Structure 1
Amino acid sequence: LMVNVRVRGIHATALAKILLERGFNIVHASKKIKERFKIVENRIPPDVTVKDLEEKHGVIVLGDYEEAEKVYNTLLDVLPETFSWKSKIPHHAIVKGVVIKIVEGKSIIDLGGIHGELDEELNIGEEVIVDIDRPLLPPSNIAKLSRRYTVHGKYSALIYGLKGKVIVSRHITDPKVRRNLQTLASLMKIEGNWGIKWRSSAVLAGIDDLMMDVQETLKKAEEILRKAEKASPGEMVYKGRFFGVIGFTSTTRKYLDNVRNEILPTIMGHHMLKSMDNNMVNLVDYTEYLLSRFISNREKLSEGLMEYLIENLKERRRIEIEHISLLSNEVKTLTPGSILTVKYSNGEIYGVVKRVFRSKGIFDGLNIPKERGDYDIMEFSTNGYVLLHKYYSKNGVFKGIYVNINTPPEISCRKIRYYDLEIDVVMAADKEPKIIDSEKLNEALSENIVSEHLFKKYRGIAENILKYLEKHSMPEKLSLEELLENVGATTAKLKNF
């Protein structure tokens, strides 16, 4: 059976190629994708959608459960160095639960192994039918529940408790189409306490199909509620939808650059720049236009654009640091810095950044006081799995080093970005080095965010750094280059890991 997938966003061309080659069908495609893959216009609604995360550092895969899980697992198998967060219970699954305790006006409900929280006060021991209102992504363990059950059809979804209301997907932007869908729904006057939500695929269907879809979904929804009444506690009466997130690293994006290049001229760094910096989009497009006109080759043009980016960085002098947590996939912005040096050779960008701290506190991990005016000299390389931070007092007295272990950083005109791998090595000025936060990396493994194979690689980097620092009597003399060479924490050395 063909699985129909809609792919949207800046990674769409590369992902469409990967999925097409593995027997998936691409539907509801953009004009560009249709042209690139010679896809015949069809009106098939998607079973699965793949789209960018808000911050564009990865993708979301959602849709009918079995089909979407297939797409998700395929992408995880094919793409190198990715991280994954999959909802622990299907999104919008409908489950019979039992109230086990009341906390601050909310009911904690046992769903048969997984617990959830409902924003109303019920009685302990009471049975209640609930909807999994938001995807339950690791490392979280408490599902957000609601009693507004959502049942999906192909073009519509019915939402219980919204009697007579009509919602149109925000992805349908044409005002005329929105009005027509509103009108159609209000003419249909459906039974019971259900409201209608038109899904983005509604634009693909004619009036008859839309009306039939709502009628069929209503039958299904009523049937589910009847089944739920009779269900025993912990029983799932509606499977709901798959929801999974895949985090991309610089390794993943380089791979996607090469996949896209097989379809049309693509510079190295294409996905990195498009995902990090809207100001670079036109430049990337123009560079690829030159490439398609055979004005120069891929290596030279990619290099030229990188050199241009470096010149730009030197002029800006200020760089932001986006630090993405491996556990929660949240993007944090660290204290920005000013660029002291930045250079480019053989595809590697190396830089030194000075960050001055404006407020008092404690240096994380080192557990030593941080005063106003203390500063950090941070070294990075786009080929390295570590960032080296050296902390100084405002008069230049060395306080300690913090070796942050992360995916090789990506860089644009205004920021650098990496996944923080939740394990670090620190060494205060007069103390022994130690590994910190390793329990967080362990948790990422037990939550299936990171594979066993990557876990061993990252853990190994930390252990090698620790061993190296134990032999090092002058931590403040340590350079990133020396560290990377000696602990084998570069992309080149780890290629065959």
Structure 2
Amino acid sequence: MRVRIRGIYTTALTHLFEDVVQASPPIRDRFDESFPVAPADLAAWTTTDRQGVTLSGDPVAVADAHERLAGISRDTLAWTDPLPKDGVFAGEVTETLGGGAVVDVGGGEGYLPYGETDDHVETGDTVRVQVRRPKPPWTDRRARLSTRIEVSGELVRLVRGESRESTGAASLEDLLPPEVPDGWRPKWGRDEEEAAMDALGTALDTATDRAERFDDLPTRGDPDAPTALATPLATSHVWFGREGRFELDALRREVTRTMPGHHRVKAGASDASAAVDFAEALGAFDSEAFPFAVVARQFGPQEGDRLAIDHGKPSGECFTLGKGEVTSVGADGSLRLEREMSPGGTYDALGVDRRAGDVAVTKFEEGRWWYPTVYRGDDGTRRGTYVNVCTPVELFPNAARYVDLHVDVVKGPDGEVRRVDDDELDAAVAAGHISEPLAEKARAVASKLERAL
């Protein structure tokens, strides 16, 4: 399995995978070896929010990498994308917005910018679209679509409908064995000059096979939208939990000097990369402990900040429970957050009405498998306690982040302690969203909390 890797997890994953191609210059220097400039079966790149990686490529290669990365730690989770990169769908326009249209393609929704189509689109229209940019399930964005069909690739991509300008000189594709199908134009990547001719020929051959598959799609009489027409590639998204990031640190440390929490810090703030690299270049760390106080002081969160609670679900979704004010931050990784609650409804599992003036006080601790929220009335009366069991909490500059593990423990205003939602945890295991080792950890944490409360 030949893998092309980019992003903040590259060194660790290069050490994990055996056959890396198209390595960047820093990786070639770090490993002090030559990596072939050859076609990749699989591309892995860091997600925009730096929380994990997206895998895209040959379905067998993606499935293998999906399983391998999910096994890095019990709090690393992975999901197969129903809208894989390069997939072509007959979709139905369900909504038009200021800059583009929302398109239902069957397995989910995508976003078609008006600049990615030559036709005017209206609600109810059927459009043939291709997935340009998949999206991780934990983000609130939609996959980016286009009506312009192409074959993606790093060494070469094929663009449909673009004519070749004749200069009288032989072009690179004229020197290679594969015959480019009519109506397609090759566009060579930045590594073209370093690749051997046989590697370029293999890349072009693979691209032309996929182009011919797209050409075989019917031009008229498509199946009723929404439906998939062709999905030559597979795509998966992997979210690294806190334990997973430290496992990646250990892999990276086998290759080069790596500070404790290397990937944890870089995942938390985009401007942290240079600081981490500088500290590692100097060897400016003398402890094996994660330097939470230093990281929080430099990048946040700090007292007075507004912090969101990003509540991930084992099925892949993520939503914000709300934002609160940070009232204290401890050097040990503890943090206190206060939120003023809006009236109406009841508190989950407590059966207590939400009233005007209620305040929720949440106490987080970096790396802990649970966190408590105490609800108090405007007179200071304790109205109940809800303890959420989750993957180890990470306190990033803008949000506390974790994945909820369903089972929780609550303590009512009368002092009654109850454990809730074990059935939801069992259902998540049966659905394949949570591994049995992770579920056992959640149950053990819940049992301990039950006894403590």
TM-score (norm 2): 0.73
Cα deviation for residue 158 of structure 1 reads 4.2
Answering whether residue 233 of structure 2 is matched by residue 241 of structure 1, we say yes
Query: What's 1:308 paired with?
Result: 294
Q: Give the number of the structure whose residues are more often helix, by fraction.
A: 1
In 2, distance between residues paired with 1:39 and 1:343? Answer: 41
CA contact (8 A) 1:310 1:342 kept: no
Query: What's 2:99 paired with?
Result: none
Query: What's 2:250 paired with?
Result: 258
1:14 to 12, 26, 33: 12
Cα deviation for residue 272 of structure 1 reads 0.9
1:341-393 deviations in whole A, cap 9, x for unaligned?
A: 5242xxxx334x14131643445413533344422222222342110110111
Cα deviation for residue 52 of structure 1 reads 1.3
Answering whether residue 441 of structure 2 is matched by residue 449 of structure 1, we say no
Query: What's 1:360 paired with?
Result: 343
Percent identity over the alignment is: 23
In 1, distance between residues paired with 2:187 and 2:354? Answer: 53
1:398 to 361, 364, 382: 382
Cα deviation for residue 414 of structure 1 reads 5.8
Query: What's 2:118 paired with?
Result: none
In 1, distance between residues paired with 2:280 and 2:95? Answer: 57
Pick closer, same or farther for the CA change 1:81–1:413 going to 2, 3 Å: closer
In 2, distance between residues paired with 1:256 and 1:458? Answer: 23
SS in 1 for 2:78: strand
SS in 1 for 2:267: helix
The one-letter code sitting in structure 2 at the alignment partner of 1:323 is D
Query: What's 1:388 paired with?
Result: 372
CA-atom RMSD, angstroms? 4.7
Query: What's 2:322 paired with?
Result: 334
Pick closer, same or farther for the CA change 1:444–1:374 going to 2, 3 Å: same
Pick closer, same or farther for the CA change 1:296–1:74 going to 2, 3 Å: closer
SS in 2 for 1:400: strand
After TM superposition, the structure 1 = structure 2 runs for residues 87-486 of structure 1, keeping only pairs within 5 Å, are 87-88=81-82, 90-93=84-87, 149-152=149-152, 155-158=155-158, 163-164=161-162, 217-218=207-208, 220-222=210-212, 224-226=214-216, 239-291=231-283, 297-299=286-288, 302=289, 305-309=291-295, 316-318=303-305, 320-326=307-313, 327-330=315-318, 332=320, 334-340=322-328, 342-344=330-332, 349-351=333-335, 353-357=336-340, 359-365=342-348, 366-412=350-396, 415-430=399-414, 432-436=416-420, 441-442=425-426, 444-462=428-446, 465=449, 467-468=450-451, 482=452
Pick closer, same or farther for the CA change 1:410–1:90 going to 2, 3 Å: closer
Pick closer, same or farther for the CA change 1:263–1:329 going to 2, 3 Å: farther
CA contact (8 A) 2:375 2:384 kept: yes
Cα deviation for residue 66 of structure 1 reads 2.0
CA contact (8 A) 1:319 1:339 kept: no
Query: How many pairs are equivalent?
Result: 419
The one-letter code sitting in structure 1 at the alignment partner of 2:211 is A
Query: What's 1:68 paired with?
Result: 62
In 2, distance between residues paired with 1:134 and 1:198? Answer: 20
Pick closer, same or farther for the CA change 1:195–1:401 going to 2, 3 Å: farther
Answering whether residue 42 of structure 2 is matched by residue 56 of structure 1, we say no
Between 401-410 and 414-423, the greater mean CA deviation after superposition: 414-423
SS in 1 for 2:258: coil
Pick closer, same or farther for the CA change 1:133–1:260 going to 2, 3 Å: closer
The one-letter code sitting in structure 2 at the alignment partner of 1:451 is S
CA contact (8 A) 2:56 2:85 kept: no
Query: What's 2:28 paired with?
Result: 34
In 2, distance between residues paired with 1:448 and 1:198? Answer: 40
Cα deviation for residue 244 of structure 1 reads 0.6
CA contact (8 A) 2:137 2:317 kept: no
The one-letter code sitting in structure 1 at the alignment partner of 2:316 is S
TM-score (norm 1): 0.67
Cα deviation for residue 423 of structure 1 reads 3.6
In 1, distance between residues paired with 2:292 and 2:137? Answer: 36
1:418-458 deviations in whole A, cap 9, x for unaligned?
A: 22224433333137444555565455434433223212332
Pick closer, same or farther for the CA change 1:104–1:391 going to 2, 3 Å: closer
CA contact (8 A) 1:88 1:136 kept: no
CA contact (8 A) 1:84 1:450 kept: no
Cα deviation for residue 115 of structure 1 reads 9.0
Pick closer, same or farther for the CA change 1:223–1:285 going to 2, 3 Å: closer
Q: Which blocks of at least 5 consecutive residues in structure 2 are unaligned?
A: 97-101, 113-120, 165-170, 174-179
In 2, distance between residues paired with 1:102 and 1:36? Answer: 48
1:123-180 deviations in whole A, cap 9, x for unaligned?
A: 9xxxx998677759779xx9999876544566444466xx3389xxxxxxxxxxxxxx
Pick closer, same or farther for the CA change 1:409–1:200 going to 2, 3 Å: farther
CA contact (8 A) 2:20 2:35 kept: no
Cα deviation for residue 84 of structure 1 reads 0.9
1:50-96 deviations in whole A, cap 9, x for unaligned?
A: 1111211111111222223222222223444211111247544458x
Cα deviation for residue 16 of structure 1 reads 1.1
In 1, distance between residues paired with 2:285 and 2:203? Answer: 53
Q: Which has the higher contact order (CA 8 A, sep 6+)?
A: 2
1:201-257 deviations in whole A, cap 9, x for unaligned?
A: 667669998799668745653355437699998998855112111111111111112
CA contact (8 A) 1:380 1:409 kept: yes
In 2, distance between residues paired with 1:232 and 1:157? Answer: 26
CA contact (8 A) 1:151 1:240 kept: no
Pick closer, same or farther for the CA change 1:40–1:196 going to 2, 3 Å: closer
Pick closer, same or farther for the CA change 1:432–1:197 going to 2, 3 Å: farther
CA contact (8 A) 1:356 1:373 kept: no
CA contact (8 A) 1:86 1:137 kept: no
Q: Which blocks of at least 5 consecutive residues in structure 1 are unaligned?
A: 167-182, 469-481, 484-497
CA contact (8 A) 1:88 1:138 kept: no
CA contact (8 A) 2:155 2:200 kept: yes
